[in-house]
Amino acid sequence: MQQNPSDTDSEVHLPVVKDHVYHCVCGYEYVVEPQRGGQCPFCYRRVLGEALQDAYEATVSLSSLQSSARDCEVELDPIDAMTDHVFGHFKLEKQLGQGGMGAVYRALDTSLQRYVAVKVMRRKGDSSSEQVDPMLREAVAQARLNHPHVVTIYYVGRQNEEPFLAMELLPGPTLAERIRLQGAISYPEAIGYGIQVASALKHATIFDLIHADIKPANLILAGEGRVKISDFGLARMQTNDSTKEGGSIAGTPSYVAPELLRGGDYSIQTDMYALGVTLFEMVFGRLPVQIQGESLQAKLESLLAAEINFPNPWPNTLPREFKNVLQRLLARNPQERYATYDELLDALRAIAPVSTTAAGFAPRLMAYSVDQACLLGAMAPFAISIFGLQAFRAESSQLLIPIIAFASLIVPALYLLLIYRGWPSLGRYLFQLRIVEEHGLPPRREQLVPREVLRNAFAWLFPLALYISLQSVSVSKGIEYSLIGVLGLNSVALFLLGRRKALHDYLCHSNVVLAVNESEPRI
């Protein structure tokens, strides 16, 4: 964990490793190759490259750290008087950041020979010492949160009346630094982070915890597509909150829920509001409300009075459903937000884009062939009956032909009903294909059914052309030519336009993608 000097008690991250000096379990340090690993010249223990890639922050020596121009640069404070001090079995090596409640150091855990982050609180007698004991209690509570998206607390204790805690050291950067240096985060990535944070906050409620300070500066990137919540220093209990004194509130103003500014109580909805602000900031690279005024009181009043500044017009690259989720998370009245984290997670997963890997021509052609064969096979008995009755030319049998033709409509009706209820066609099921709308979300029913009507036009109209040919050859020919034209346009769109989209996909704003395992752990 590291700390951003501009954010009070925010955890910060390590710069990127360029020279790879590995700290062996025996305590000896030596240079390793990041891909091949190495062997300790003292104890002869080997380490593979995979181990280094998975645990740089815990095994790579501080002397090898250098900043990378392509990553977030963090201005580290110079070595201070605490450097080289020993807190328990943790030896402080470098100050990583400083805030209102203390400082964060990179430290060596001498018992396990790995690097950790140690936060040293203010000493007893300082002006904020009365806040230390509640913070240590919440650190102990955080240590019980065994969750993949919560920073792990290893140890909480005191050294000569100096309180400290040791925690997981992450490569970073924080989402705040990522946004500051690179701008807005892509929608699929942001929704993924939102789901991870919501699942972690849900897990915290099991231990009666509300984070109370969710913001990008407290969300640290922990690898490809993963984020972890840090800094439960302002955490509150859901019930019997004794940490709230005299109606006081703490946190970062832009992320504080309106009800708290009006003297209301903390709840899971206050964390949901902060998560809504964070999601907005990730996707749009700015806050949803502009703070105005010189004094703190004026700024807080502007937060209460301001309306959410949504982009107008709404970007075509974002689903409209995302705005609906944001509006509910950022509602002024906490009762209008989601009642539970399960409800919020369901809403976020519903707008999370699935795989956008376009399906190849071969599986799409095979799936289309299977579906057409099934539909034509299901309609074949009706066509055979019609031609059989036509051959008899009996007046009574001729009356049955329109009835059978009308009854044949049960095949497309049943097929479209299954599609409407969310069933994949047999061809798509066999070849692991799925339909998504232009934002990568599951298509709406009113969007999917017209697409299937256009996609299966051949199966619908070819039997109709055969039936009409018994009455009018010219009309039948017109239908057949239309079918040939549709197939030709589909081929041009699919093979020549370069987007692997058939004509019905262009008309219905849909895509055919590879079906992947999109299950999110229900934590």
Q: Which residues are catalytic?
A: 213
Contact 327, 279 (CB under 8 A): no
Q: In this structure, are strands 90-99 and 102-109 parallel, antiparallel, or unpaired?
A: antiparallel
Q: Please give the distance of CA 91 from its chain centroid, rounded to a whole number.
A: 37
Q: Please give the distance of CA 139 from its chain centroid, rounded to a whole number.
A: 26
Cis omega before residue 313 (within 30°)? Answer: yes
Report which of 70, 57, 72 is spatially closest to residue 22, judged by C-alpha positions: 57
Cis omega before residue 173 (within 30°)? Answer: yes
Q: What are phi and psi of 490, to 5 degrees?
A: -60, -40
HEC sequence for 167-195:
ECCCCCCEHHHHHHHHCCCCHHHHHHHHH
Alpha helices in 103-225 (DSSP H): 132-143, 175-182, 187-205
Residue 465 vs residues 268, 389, 392, 450, 462: alpha-carbon distances, Å: 62, 17, 21, 21, 5
Q: What are phi and psi of 91, to 5 degrees?
A: -100, 115
- Interatomic CA distance for residues 59 and 229, integer angstroms: 22
Q: Count Cβ atoms below 10 Å from residue 290 Cβ, excluding itself.
A: 11
List the structure tokens of 112: 């396990």
List the structure tokens of 23: 């700290």
